[in-house]
Copies of this chain bind each other. A is one copy, B any other.
Amino acid sequence: MALMTGEEYIESIRKIDMQVYMFGEKIDNPVDHPILRPSLNSVRMTYDLAQLPEYQDVMTAISPETGERINRFTHLHQSTGDLIKKVKMQRLLGQQTASCFQRCVGMDAFNAIYSTAFEIDQAHGGHYFDNFKKFLFDAQLRDLTVDGAMTDPKGDRSKSPHDQEDPDLYLHVVERRPDGIVVRGAKAHQTGVINSHEIIVMPTSAMTPEDRDYAVAFAVPMDTPGILMIVGRQSCDTRKLEDGDLDVGNSEFGGVEALVVFDDVFVPNDRIFLNGETEFAGLLVERFAGYHRQSYGGCKTGVGDVLIGAAALAADYNGVPKASHLKDKLVEMNHLNETLYCCGIACSAEGQATPAGNFIVDLLLANVCKQNVTRFPYEISRLATDIAGGLMVTAPSEQDLRDPVLGPIVAKYFKAAPDVSTEDRLRIMRLIENLCLGTSAVGYLVESVHGAGSPQAQRVMIARQGGVPAKKEMAKKLAHIGA
């Protein structure tokens, strides 16, 4: 059976000896750290839901190679239907966790490398495709969570990888041995890496022949010697260290980002999927980015659903559920959120088979999808703030509410709708704060801008894929211009 339970997932991560640092200190085990645990809980949800019959169709798939039922996060998309189900799965998980559930990067890396490795081997006669299939089928069978790591620190952005003063600012091969390679460098902003069993590394941009040592893709387990992680700070991160479950807003789920350093890490030959074929680096990036830009049309929509629900509850709890301007703002939030979903679905429905056989999204529409994701969550967040009211940022602490003297004062003066307790009203305020300003805003707002490539990266792709020359011809014909 290829499906782990959520509990098995947690325990499997506990067993991995990772080098994780935070606030200047080594973390014994991320599984037990209150700042990191919510992030594991989010990944866990990808396992828990896969166990439930009602979600089987969306959360799992039958592996065409092994015939086994596997978690969809390890699946190679076999059709546009699979691409659509991927988006639905992501929306579902966004709804359940209101956060980044961090397992998509691996799924998107799987699908991008699969087709690219196939094409490299077609061109060069190598065995990257076999390497990758071996790795992937193992990951399917063991139901692994795999981080897909692309973003290098990049250093001086006016220079290409091989031109950097510090050669390590893009991850690169520092030694080639008969049995493998040694790599050095780092990947920044890695969501989900501390929750993963393995990590797949990919190059971060198109490359020229001089960048040969930088055109490298591979996978290694997270406890491979030389890998070290430094966890990034999030807004309101330390609220997770406080007692109580109220002020944190969303006490169970979250996401975490880290810098992952590869300090002379050895990669055995059978775990290498790209090694010097610079002309394929751009294609791999483009495909991974395409899949990942599709992903945002699912996951962010799911988080948006929670924010819409929270805003609607806030209107109820504030005692103004019927105000026409608030109802209209909820319509607008839904409208914008569903527009994002439309983009996620559309780039899936317009997907195509790659030469390797798995399906790739329509790249133009996937970039359009992500471009909208860089915009609409801010307006949705603004509207949620409008509906919630100022209390979302001025409410007293949970300690005040629990205090025998202050508690009754808080309860008295923040009572609004007759049948709603002040505590429940504060709970929904804190959830909205969490999504608009707190830890989840990191994922819902900033990651919506920069994850899967910054806005300008999408515009470059839209410029390339937009078909303007053909559109000029349409206009010329209608305007009676030209031969």
Give bound CA distance, A230 to B179, whole Å. Answer: 65
Q: Indicate if A417 sits at the interface (CB-CB under 8 A).
A: yes
Give bound CA distance, A97 to B477, whole Å. Answer: 10
Which of the residues B22, B239, B446 comes within 8 Å of A397, measured between beta carbons?
B22
Which positions 312-360 of chain A face chain B at CB distance < 8 Å?
312-313, 316, 318-320, 323-325, 327-328, 330-331, 334-335, 338-339, 341-350
Q: Indicate if A6 sits at the interface (CB-CB under 8 A).
A: no
Min CB distance, A261 to chain B, in Å?
Answer: 6
Question: With A233-B397, A400-B21 in contact, do A431 and B475 touch (Cβ < 8 Å)?
Answer: yes
Min CB distance, A233 to chain B, in Å?
Answer: 5
A476 — which chain B residues lie within 8 A by C-beta?
309, 313
**A 54-95 binary contact with B (CB < 8 Å = 1; else 0):** 000000000000000000000000001000100000000001
Question: With A257-B394, A446-B393 in contact, do A238 and B239 touch (Cβ < 8 Å)?
Answer: yes
Min CB distance, A314 to chain B, in Å?
Answer: 9
Let me know if B346 and A395 touch, CB within 8 A. no
A348 — which chain B residues lie within 8 A by C-beta?
349
Which of the residues B390, B399, B427 comes within 8 Å of A451, measured between beta carbons?
B390
**A 232-253 binary contact with B (CB < 8 Å = 1; else 0):** 1111101100000111011111
**A 177-199 binary contact with B (CB < 8 Å = 1; else 0):** 00000000010110000000000
- Interface stretch (choices A9-17, A155-163, A211-219, A281-289): A155-163
Q: Indicate if A173 sits at the interface (CB-CB under 8 A).
A: no
Which of the residues B189, B313, B456, B466 comes within 8 Å of A390, measured between beta carbons?
B189
Question: With A389-B450, A431-B475, A479-B250 in contact, do A415 and B169 touch (Cβ < 8 Å)?
Answer: yes
Let me know if B468 and A308 touch, CB within 8 A. yes
A80 — which chain B residues lie within 8 A by C-beta?
349
Let me know if A459 and B328 touch, CB within 8 A. yes
Which of the residues B96, B249, B349 comes within 8 Å of A346, measured between beta carbons?
B349
Min CB distance, A426 to chain B, in Å?
Answer: 9
Which of the residues B155, B335, B343, B459 comes within 8 Å of A331, measured between beta carbons?
B459
A446 — which chain B residues lie within 8 A by C-beta?
385, 390, 392-393, 436-437
